Amino acid sequence: MQKHLEGIRVIDLTAWLAGPFVSLNLAAMGAEVIKIERPKAGDPCRWNPPFAGPQGVSHARKTDEDTSLLYLKRNRGKKGISLNLQSEWGKEIFRQLVKKGDVVIENFAPGTMDRLGFDYPRLKAINSRIIYCSIAGYGQNGPYRDRAAFDLTIQGMSGIMGVTGFPDGPPTRCGAWIGDMIPALYGVCGILAALASREKTGQGERIDISMQDSCFSLIMDEALDLHLSLGIPMRTGNRNPRLAPWNVYAAADGYLAICVASNEQWIAFLEAIGREDLKEDSRFKNQEGRFKHSDEVEIVVKEWLKGLTQEGALRTLRAKKVPCDAVPEIPEVLEDPQLKARGMMPELLHPQSGPTGLKTAGFPVHFSERPGGYSSPAPSIGQHNQEVYGGILGISDAEMEKMEGEGVI
């Protein structure tokens, strides 16, 4: 056994980002992920620019092999098959896969799997050990169940945008696609828990992930209802509604983050910047005082930073162990030696043409005994039909040829 989830077979019906990000992480931990796509059409994400292919990277497709960079990133380590789930023959093939599978993941609109005849009770009747995970914008029940959803709408409806931005500015989207990716990570947690439970009970599980639920869970670490009653702004920019100094500050040549979370760190900060005279200032004696007088604290920090370089300021603060770091722009992040040392910037590969010359993200969970990671590029449509249909289901070449002729695969 080389990876933790070896021997676990995942039947992946997902498209776009939330669902594929679930199976991407499972594949990195060794699961055999079989991605099902519509014959010829494939995952809609395939057709989103920019593209990579035999003639390089561009914003327009140059060859039939050209594939979206998004698709190539989100589907590494998976096997790809084509299957028409609208046809009766295709549905029967899917049932055969479920018999031999451990996990089914889908992110169709609620009700779609029921109409196809693949709701949990019917799949459970085929395989009582099956773990069935659904991800939808608002879950499988509730008044918003049938609403379409994307990252932006979910960041809005979950409250993420309500707490992101500056006090005098509009609600703002978080730059990363967390409206999709956070629910996906909850989906991974649910699947891993269900797999562990199945070892004891022998029974599968139904997992219902709401993208709104998942993102709402992130904002409630803060006591937002209390903040409302106290008149504290919901959006505070980079500042912390409880602590000061806690912000991103401009130096002469860049930005740095300073985070002072305790009285001891405040004393260290004052010593670092040469303002020991403020140690006994009653306004700043504790966290409550520094929060109440946070505007005055901001003035102290900004006055100290005048004329200082980013590196000079960081060196001074680190000498006193004040929590701080640079806030680099993306070109600097892409050259970060720490990320490179931990293998977080592998080259993105295309299934036919190989190296693209572009970076992607490595798997961020580092195991000591059974390392994770992506074993292969994202598949082309139907790339593993022979391996899956012939090798796993025992379908003959002649039957597969007939299936292809009838548009089943």
DSSP string, 67-110: EEHHHHHHTTT-EEEE--TTSHHHHHHHHHHHHT-SEEEE-SPT
Report how far apart, in Å, the C-alpha atoms of 114 and of each of 1, 194, 341, 391 are.
36, 22, 47, 29
Query: How far is residue 164's CA from residue 158's CA, in Å, rounded to a whole number?
Result: 12
208: annotated active-site residue: no
Report how far apart, in Å, the C-alpha atoms of 121 and of each of 194, 205, 206 are.
16, 10, 9
Amino acid identity of residue 329, one-letter, is E
Non-local (6+) Cβ contacts of 135 within 8 A are 14, 18, 19, 22, 105, 106, 107, 183, 184, 187, 209, 211
CA neighbours closer than 13 Å in the CB half-sphere of residue 58: 10
Query: How far is residue 223's CA from residue 298's CA, in Å, rounded to a whole number?
Result: 23
Among candidate residues 12, 66, 102, 180, the one labeled active-site is: 180
Query: How far is residue 174's CA from residue 155's CA, in Å, rounded to a whole number?
Result: 8
Query: How far is residue 17's CA from residue 68's CA, in Å, rounded to a whole number?
Result: 13
Strand-pairing partners, residue 132, are 104, 206
What is the edge-to-edge ordering of all strands in the sheet holding 32-37? 79-82, 32-37, 9-12, 103-106, 131-136, 205-210
The three-class DSSP label of residue 270 is: helix
Taking the alpha carbons at both ends of the chain, their separation in whole angstroms is 32
**Chain centroid offset of residue 363 CA:** 11
State the DSSP code for 388.
I
In terms of DSSP bridges, do strands 56-58 and 51-53 run parallel, antiparallel, or are they unpaired? antiparallel
User: Residue 373: which of 344, 409, 394 has the closest Cα?
Assistant: 344
Query: How far is residue 124's CA from residue 127's CA, in Å, rounded to a whole number?
Result: 5
Q: Which residues are catalytic?
A: 180
